[in-house]
Structure 1
Amino acid sequence: MRTSKTQLALALALAGLGSQALPAWADEPSSGTLDRVEITGSNIKRSIKQEKALPVTVVRTEEMSKQGFTTVEQVVNSLASNQSATVGASSVQTVSGGASYASLRGLGSQYTLVLLDGRRVASQAIGGYATDLNAIPLSAIERIEVLRDGASAIYGTDAIGGVINFITKKSYQGVTVSGELLSTEHKGGNTGSASITAGIGDLAKDGYNVYGSLSYQKLDPITTLNRSFANKYLSADNLSGRVFPSNFTYKGNAYNPAAPNCKPPYALPLDANSCGENATLYMDLTPEVEQLTAFAKGTKQLGEHTLSLQYMGARNVSTTRISPAPLTKIATLKAGDKYYPTHLPDGTPTDGSPVVINSRSVPLGPRVTESLSTTQRLAFNAEGLLAGWDYRGGVGYSENKTTINYKSGYVNGDKVAAAFQNGTINPFGPSAPGAWESTSLNGDGWVAKFQTIMADFKVSKEVLQLPAGMMATAFGVETRREKLDSQIQDIAQFALGSGIADSKSTSGSRGVTAAYVEADIPIFKNFDAQLAARYDRYTDFGSSFNPKIAVKYQPIPQLLIRSSASKGFRAPTLYDVFTPNSKTYTANKFNDPLRCPGGTPANGGNKVDDCNTQFEALQGGNNNLSPEKASSLTFGVVIEPIKEITASADFWWTTVKDTIGALDPGVIFGDPVKYADKFVRNPDGSLNHVITTTQNLGTLSAAGVDISLAFRLPKTAWGNFGINLDGTYTSKYQQQMEPKGPYLSPLGGWYQNVLPPVLRWKHSLAFNWAQGPWSGILVQNYSSGYTDLNPNQEGHNVRPYSNWNLSGSYVWDKKLTITAGIRNLFDQEPPFSNQTKSFQYGFDPVVADPVGRAYFLKASYKL
């Protein structure tokens, strides 16, 4: 049996684990040998007994699946330390290719480095900041290691917020077939998945192992009409002046022939004379997703050397539906034109003055976009012992190709304008069959590819006996080349409301080389220091030197104190630099400060065109950006008063200077005098668009504490019980949205209409039980409430969001495993929010899950 000292060392090494951790006090017979392993956060291999305490959370995917999670996105979003701003639902309102990103501590996906077996995966080609979580095959992942401190000196300059390392199974024997069905209590959102994993060969006996995994998953969409909380709060403020039947502007005032009745429920009165489109009713809350993933790994043992070849492939198809295309000032009709309105809604005749049409392509239905994202990765790895040194090296190729396809509902604006003017299409009522269809656009609009070619080699060894113990060191080199190729297809030039209209194709590449060193030094008894430094050279942004120091002090067996300080550097991504300029509508509605100051039409403005409306914004890259520089500091305490209880608290501070991002339209409209150069106007003085291209904004500063508690109750006749808590409290989050500008803080609530909220507290609380072949888990995932976007409206405080997942499992003969459970046990609805940053309304799709209560059944059988 292990000694209590050995048990304590292992428990402290795993300190910080959430509810998904393995028990730290498992009794095992000693084999007499200890495997040397590499834990995320260090390049030095050590035995588990010697492993130093790090702020690392270890997540077992097998345990997470018992909550009904079927994707890596769902697993990562449940982590207390993660506050992602881009989830699968985000693709409904943005051209994201259906991607979902991790964002440790809410700092941003660009600061969280995602690794697969310690190496990078290509960034998503549309977005380009980080690896799409949907590219990681959950069925092939054994565990996830989350390093919650800056790791730029270890893994790369961009690992400022932390690292999420997905660890695949080292080997596998036999054949396992799995399947899962999830049925929602409310309409929409049903999920089905199936996978097969097969492998042959025993590394220890046969000297080789080959295994592969193939999985398929289908998620049904959820629409606005499927959930009452997404449509019951809609009001006149949600109506758009781009409507069908069309509004027309006559002598500065807006009218609609269908007013005041309009065409409910989609078109409602905007005022006595005009109509507004209830565009939100067309929206998806979550997309339709179809995912196919494949993974294969072959490993050969040659004495003290292990060679492996690994392939990963993921094909993710995300289909979204949004409102029919808005047609802003699409055409001008003159007296004599076929559909020129001869009378106003009240019967007053018009005098022949021209009228301007504001319409919407309702007869073609919602805009349907299909995003196809394909990620592939091939990697060769060699590791083992060489002249007494542990070594690891390899080469790899990774790519992501994303295609945005316009399936239906998109129109050619020029063709619609001509059809309105020549009378082919009636802007105020039914048209001849096929008239609207003649203006539609279908096909690929954007095809982008991101490629990464990499090679690395590192060695580690205990090199020097010091009075307090052995000093270990590691040396390594790395090189990689990144390439972005973004091709805007001709069709996108004319697709109104596509988000990439007027975009241009672009491409770019860069090379990065790096050398790094690390030392683990026992300063004196029970006091160790980790020193690391990394030098990176970019072919386009120069070089950077980033040091790190971490210390660990264990004055008594029951107490461990740790701290770290590091520097970081993030060069602008290829997407920051080369993303093509494009126009898209702002999510928020604004008043034109010139033609509708204070919400009142003036200077030739009118209510429909210039007041409380969505304007176009020009977005795109910038080749004059400066790199970001960061600093991180952590201080943590781990205690284990008795062997059944382990608790930790890790305080953290992070600062990033010269952050890269886009100036929010809310900032621009909030100070039109200061940002006068951001307003681009038409010859008649109306607003064409505002400029929101990428730039260096200012400084981001955040701080908080990660809390963990593991309570392993004594064994009983009714089974083994355990309680685990994993939480993150953010105490500071402030950001400059412009160079040398004021610090704005969204901590605990929206900062006006500029910055989305950063949650003060988020936790996962798990109650575990096991008895022989039976086990059960009850988990609460909790997010604190916050101040809403419009605090003066009813419901200005968004209440906390909490849901509970319950499941039970049974294992028969170590072959058949059945899990049945309920996600969102109490059918908790997303809390009401009046946010307007997303197309979904009535709640925040980034913070809350609209699925509701769902029942799932999962079974796997090992042949």
Structure 2
Amino acid sequence: MHKQTQIAAAVLLTLGGFNAWAQQAEPQQIERVTVTGSAIKRIDAETAVPVTVVKMNDLRNAGVTSVEQILSSLTGVQSSGNTAQSIGSGTGGASFADLRGIGADKTLVLLNGERIANNAVDGSAPDLNMIPFAAIDRIEVLRDGASALYGTDAIGGVINFITKKTYQGATITLGYDSPKHGGGKARSANVGFGLGDLSSQGFNVLGFVSAKKEDAIAGDQRSFNKRIVGGLSNSTDPANYTQDFSTLYNPAAPTCSGTSLIPITGGTQCKIVTPNFVDFAPKSDTASGMLKGTLRVSDSLELGAEGFYTQNKVTTRIAPVPYGGYLMNPTMPNGQKNPYFPTAHVDPNFTDPDVVGQTAFSPSSAFANPVAVQPGFVYVFWRDFPNGSRTQRNDNKQSRLVLSADGTAADWDYSVKVSLNKNTVDQNLVGGYGDGDMIGEGLLEGVINPFGAQSAEGTALLQKAALNGLLQTATGKVRIFKATASRELGDWLGAGRGAQIAVGLERRHEDFDSHANKDFAKLVSASTGLDPEFVAKGTRNVSALYSELNVPVLKSLEVTGSLRYDKYSDFGSSTNPKLSFRYQPSKEVLFRGSASTGFRAPTLFELYGSQAYTNTAGNVNNPINCPGGTPIAGASSGANCNTQFQVLTGGNTALKPEKSKGYTLGAVFEPMTDVSLGIDLWAIKITNSIAALPESTLFANYAQFQQYFHFAQPGNLLSITSNCPGSKCGYVERLNQNLGGSNTNGVDLSAQYRLRSQVGQFDFALNSTFVNKYEYQDYPNGPWNQNVGVYAGSGPVFRWQHNLTVNWAYNAFALGTAVHYKSGYQDFIPTNRVSAYTTTDLFGSWSPVKGSSLVLGVRNLFDRDPPFSNQADLFQSGGWDSRYASAAGRTYYVRGTYSF
């Protein structure tokens, strides 16, 4: 066992020796609840599957203000696609959870036991920012596969956000967060109300609304993004230029004294270092509301209605637009010499038969005033600093309406639900983008100066070219009808209690539509890379039947079997069983285990997503012209080495479902009052994984994957400018496909101890996850890549994760601390080892009168910077990884709550 786990577990057990000093506690009554992972009503302590219950009251005391923060503290979550990753990407500002590290698309997220619409941008999983935070009462995390009950996506586990069923009174909470360093300040407010007593008045209506505003953390507000030279680009200010793409030149070379420039070996060109212009964390504005009503018609029938709406606006900033491969003529249309045209390294007789003489040359469409391209022209790689950083605002809206009827009839408990779910994401350009044709024309005509200060005419043209507007819209809709019934059967085997059965059916209709705002996208296609004709849409129907049977075999042993059949209109059917057991030979010991199969259907986006060209996420080397980072004879370093190339991405209608097998085996021990120890072994095997081949894998193993490289000839070139598709386009193919498999297994450990003493109550809890193995294939029958403690493919898998909490409460006062630990790993470039990362949170609360509380706390008490990483897979480069650490640093917070 890991040393830190040994120490923490020993502390918890040693504290049991203080029972002589501690007051004797009365046995706690176990509350009867409906547990995630079963369709049969049961008591939490009796479940045969591992479920972690997280109470929101504890999290609010710890200063948690978002679902994203909650998931980052669960040790079974290997990584989370967080809001910070929306910077420079197309996620629409979404945040995702990833249990077991097998992918966010294989973690099922529910709200009150029901699905919500997946994030419409890529359809992979629900956006955690869309969960109505203020209404959450508890979170149940099923750490086991559950396709036999829920169908698709429930391979790694299930996270069920559960709101209050009833509520009376009113409450208001105000909060403020302030990092020690600049940026990242947050303000939050939550308000709730409820009226009506369901038991005496026959109804209850409750509502919660919340709002949160969080400031951005700019790229120059933290220094740890300068630990390596990252985010390099050929598009600079002053610009690089070339005639044949073989060698690039820059008037600032070899000293390269321009904006964030560095010299490149050879001394003829410069590159820009962009991390300072890329936000660490985006600005976000989130508002949500939920209204829920329950009407007790009779003792055997309750009617319910539940609706929520959430809107999240995420604003991201990255470096100014690069205009790469644009043309400049040596002479202006009036016949005069272009005052900005370079003189060094230019052949006045240079011609290109595909360009010279053309009167409408542009990456997107014809100039408004066609200008002939002249012999002796140059290509320039310029960055539009005058118009400022590229700024995008993603408006993400999620809504759901659920109508339900729950009751009993003929000895059956039944539930019937109809839900309408919708997610819409609008991607708006709000700064820094421009009309590429207008700017291209200005460069060609000699109006814009790419090598220095602008004239009044150049400034006016750039301001006129600046454009704001709606770029594209994605919408996902899910309509669901679901009916479930359960009842108790006879005591078939004389175990002292009856068997139980549940049966259910589900009908689901899914719609997906993503399209560019054609007219606007056409104007900004050069600065966004979005095809103005981009349209991706799909629809399908899903029908399912499922059943669960729980049979007590002995007084101490029960066995549960589940089976679900799903039929999809677009690829066929899938049948998935699950078998689990629970064995309790004594009051102090419980054993449990399960075996199941699972599946994940390809999303509509994966199937029908439009194919489009974009840049590689990081800087890579042309495997033929620059093997190992060294250019071959005659090949330009600037055009072939440590740069970004064109990549073709998109959907594939030939995809098949992913398949899985999962196993768990665990035990819970309660050796003394208020002490609980748990261990759960788990294993998951997945085949037919759906993904695009990772960039790092493709470029590092060219001989193996050369069929995905499409070079432009002559010269085996990959495009570094937006000239795709076309005869000069060289690109790498990264379409979705069914790849190989993945295998992972490990252990979840837990320990809880409650000490009741004369000086207050102490609660100690340790939750740990150890990953023994994680291996994956990039393609069918390919070699197995080991991923535990190693950055392989798209990231690392942590060997160990711990979450240790200690809380003390006495009368109106409470103190608490939480320690979060992630083990180190071998980095993207193996010569570096990323150090282990530990952060400590501390809080204190005071409740002077009933219904009121004041919480003061600090997250990341010791102001730990993210550990150094040389990863290049994310847009945010520069020596850290936003998936596993927050850029905020030490953050102080205050929360005030009043209930009446």
Q: Same fold (TM over 0.5)?
A: yes
Distance 1:479 1:507, change over 3 A: same
Match of 2:264 in 1: 270
1:759-787: CA deviations, max 9, x gaps? 11112100011112222211011111111
Is 1:420 aligned with 2:457?
Answer: no
Q: Is the CA contact 1:399–1:450 (under 8 Å) kept in the aligned structure 2?
A: yes
Indicate if the aligned counterparts of 2:601 and 2:658 stay in contact, CA closer than 8 A.
yes
Matching residue within 744, 766, 782 for 1:702: 744
Number of the residue aligned with 1:344: 344
Local SS of the residue matching 2:847 = strand
Q: What's the counterpart of residue 727 of structure 2? A: none
Q: Does 1:214 align with 2:209?
A: yes
Deviations 1:78-101 (A, max 9, x none): 111112341111101311000001
2:648 is the alignment partner of 1:618:
yes
Q: What are the superposed Cα offsets for residues 258-306 of structure 1, whole Å, 9 maximum, x if unpaired? A: 2334344522333533221111110001110000001110111122222
Change (3 A) 1:331 1:558: same
Counterpart in the other structure of 2:871: 835
Q: What is aligned with 2:683?
A: 653
Partner Cα separation in structure 2 for residue 500 and residue 704 of structure 1: 42
Does residue 813 of the first structure (1) align with residue 853 of the second (2)?
Answer: no
Contact 2:340 2:450 in 1 (8 A): no
Tell me the amino acid that sits aligned with residue 687 of structure 1.
Answer: L
Aligned: 1:609 with 2:639 = yes
Q: How does 1:846-857 map to 2 (within 5 A)?
A: 846-857=883-894
Match for 1:812: what amino acid?
A: P
- Following superposition, the deviation at residue 611 of structure 1 comes to 1.5
1:220-299 superposed matches below 5 A: 220-231=215-226, 233-235=227-229, 238-250=231-243, 252-271=246-265, 272-299=267-294
1:427-446 to 2 correspondences below 5 Å: 427-431=450-454, 432-446=458-472
> Do structure 1's residue 717 and structure 2's residue 758 form an aligned pair?
yes
**Residue 779 (structure 2) pairs with residue 738 (structure 1):** yes
Residue of structure 2 equivalent to 1:728: 769
Structure 1 counterpart of 2:875, which letter? F
Q: Over residues 308-336 of structure 1, what are the superposed CA-to-partner deviations in whole Å (9 max), with x where a residue is unaligned?
A: 10011100000000111222212254467
1:7 matched residue in structure 2 = none
| 8 Å CA contact retained: 2:329, 2:445 | no
1:76 aligns with 71
Letter in 2 for 1:553: Y
3-state secondary structure, aligned to 1:374: strand
User: Do the aligned partners of 1:680 and 1:690 also contact (CA within 8 Å) in 2?
Assistant: yes
1:330 and 2:323 matched: no
RMSD: 2.1
Q: Secondary structure at the match of 1:839?
A: coil
Unaligned runs of 5+ in 2: 1-23, 351-375, 720-730
Aligned to 1:492: 521
For the 8 Å contact 1:331–1:357, the answer to whether it is kept is: yes
Q: Indicate the residue corresponding to 1:825 in structure 2.
A: 861
User: For 2:606, what is the secondary structure of its paired residue?
Assistant: helix
Please state if 1:755 is matched with 2:784: no
Equivalent residue number for residue 542 of structure 1: 572
Alpha-carbon contact 1:361-1:411 (below 8 Å) kept: no
1:376 is aligned to 2:376: no
- 1:566–1:788 distance in 2 versus 1, CA, 3 Å: same
Deviation of the 1:520 alpha carbon: 0.8
Deviations 1:218-246 (A, max 9, x none): 01111221111122x243x6532211110
Query: Once structures 1 and 2 are overlaid, which stretch shifts more, 371-380 or 270-279?
Result: 270-279
Please give the secondary structure, in 2, of the residue aligned with 1:692.
Answer: strand
Matches within 5 A, 1:150-189: 150-189=145-184
Deviations 1:736-759 (A, max 9, x none): 1112211112210212xx331011
1:113–1:163 CA contact under 8 A, matched in 2: yes
Q: Select the residue among 805, 824, 827 that pairs with 1:788.
A: 827
| Contact 1:665–1:690 (Cα < 8 Å) also in 2 | no
2-structure distance, mates of 1:562, 1:144 = 22
Structure 1 position 385 matched with structure 2 position 408: yes
* Equivalent in 33, 37, 46 of residue 41 of structure 1: 37
Match of 1:8 in 2: none
Secondary structure (helix, strand or coil) at the match of 1:637 reads strand
Give the distance between the partners of 1:389 and 1:542, measured in 2 at CA. Answer: 32
* 1:564 Cα offset (Å): 0.1
Distance 2:78 2:460 in 1: 47
CA shift at 1:344, angstroms?
2.7
Aligned to 1:253, the other structure's residue is in SS state coil
CA contact (8 A) 2:428 2:470 kept: yes
Corresponding position: 1:772 with 2:811: yes
Distance 1:647 1:505, change over 3 A: same
Q: Percent identity?
A: 38
Structure 2 counterparts to residues 565-604 of structure 1, below 5 A: 565-602=595-632
Matched residue, 1:473? 501
Say whether 1:127 aligns with 2:122. Answer: yes
The aligned amino acid for 1:262 is C
Give the stretch that moved more between structures: 385-394 or 676-685: 676-685
Q: Higher mean Cα deviation, 249-258 or 319-328?
A: 249-258
AA at the equivalent of 2:782: G
Distance in 2 (CA, whole Å) between partners of 1:452 and 1:809 is: 42
| Distance in 2 separating the partners of 1:139 and 1:557 | 38
Count, aligned residues: 825
> Which residue is 2:477 aligned to?
451
Contact 1:343/1:350 (8 A) holds in 2: no
Distance change >3 Å, CA 815–CA 540, structure 1 → 2: same
Specify which of 557, 560, 565 is matched with residue 527 of structure 1. Answer: 557
Of residues 613-622 and 426-435 in structure 1, the stretch that sits farther from structure 2 once superposed is 426-435
SS in 2 for 1:470: coil
Q: Which of 52, 55, 60 is the matching residue for 1:57?
A: 52
- What TM-score do you get using the length of structure 1 for normalisation? 0.92
Distance 2:152 2:241 in 1: 55
Contact 1:503/1:580 (<8 A) preserved = no
- CA distance in 2 between counterparts of 1:607 and 1:646 reads 61
TM-aligned CA distance change 1:224 to 1:340, over 3 Å? closer
* Change in CA separation of 1:828 and 1:62 when aligned onto 2, cut-off 3 Å: same
Which blocks of at least 5 consecutive residues in structure 1 are unaligned?
1-24
Question: What is the CA deviation profile of residues 163-184 of structure 1, one whole-angstrom value per residue up to 9, with x for unaligned ones?
Answer: 0001000111111111000111
Deviation at 1:596, TM superposition (A): 3.1
The question of 1:203 aligning with 2:198 is answered yes
SS of the aligned residue for 1:357 comes to: strand
Aligned pair 1:799/2:835, yes or no? yes
Separation in 2 of the partners of 1:613 and 1:659?
Answer: 29
Asked if the contact 1:172–1:211 (Cα under 8 Å) also holds between the matched residues in 2, the reply is yes
Amino acid at match of 2:473: V
What amino acid is aligned across from residue 442 of structure 1 in structure 2? N
Instruction: Encode CA deviations 1:602-655: one digit per residue, 9 max, x unaligned.
Output: 475322222110112111110011111110011101111112210111001101
C-alpha distance in 2 between matches for 1:266 and 1:339 = 25
CA contact (8 A) 1:41 1:151 kept: yes
Residue aligned with 1:549, SS: strand
SS in 1 for 2:99: coil
Partners of 2:66 and 2:865 in 1: CA distance: 21
1:306 aligned onto 2:302: yes
Q: TM-score, normalised by structure 2?
A: 0.89
